[in-house]
Copies of this chain bind each other. A is one copy, B any other.
């Protein structure tokens, strides 16, 4: 191959990498905008057929699992079956602090993100409720037929606080974790499996980093 060809090929690969990273950032940001507005149909369409959602120790498997969580569960509980926002119900998930990495195959990507939630119900819309939540994602993506999709959506809340009292007063296990007793299909809206890992504030842990240390290059190792 001529030098020109070599240089062109190297450039094409580098530009592809930059475009892929941008595509995954946008995919995750789009997820954030959809979930803010309870557009659960649009959320489910972001997933690959072979995928999973990890949420509150539950693992929902496949696009069917995502549908069970977002449509059968959230859309019923939060918006009375509407695909879209309802009066006085807030579930904002601003997304930030992306670190996206594409692996050598060019068809698998990883993304770490932060989210800071504002949520609740207005006094004129039912039982009043308002809370803050800080969380993080450590997700996996797959490129199929040239399109990036969510392979693993792994949401990990870090802290939770009522608007009134703050994170210093949060009850341990403030949202009940899914357990073996909640598994699908025994529980029709439950997860397919249990993820034993997550802890909740005031307990603390480190969600493993998909990337090595940016200066030393050392892969993440728990202490």
Contacts and interface: CB of A to CB of B under 8 A. Distances in A.
Given A88-B202, A206-B39, A94 B170 contact: no
A89 interface: yes
A174 to B, nearest CB: 12
Given A11-B12, A90-B201, A21 B22 contact: yes
A34 to B, nearest CB: 9
Interface in A166-186: 166-170, 172
22 contacts: A4-B4, A7-B8, A18-B19, A26-B214, A33-B99, A36-B158, A37-B204, A45-B213, A45-B215, A46-B214, A84-B206, A87-B203, A90-B158, A92-B158, A94-B96, A94-B134, A118-B159, A123-B169, A130-B166, A147-B214, A147-B215, A148-B214
Count copies of this chain in the complex: 3
Contacts of A50: none
Given A18-B18, A87-B203, A116-B116, 11 more contacts: A4-B5, A45-B215, A45-B216, A46-B214, A88-B204, A90-B167, A94-B96, A96-B96, A122-B167, A130-B166, A164-B166
Contacts of A149: 215
A139 interface: no
A100 to B, nearest CB: 8
A121 interface: yes
A211 interface: yes
Contacts of A99: 26, 29-30, 33
A157 B22 CA distance: 26
Interface string A119-149: 0111111001110101010000000000111
B164 A33 contact: no
Given A83-B223, A85-B206, A97-B94, A168 B201 contact: no
Contacts of A36: 158
Contacts of A95: 96-97, 114
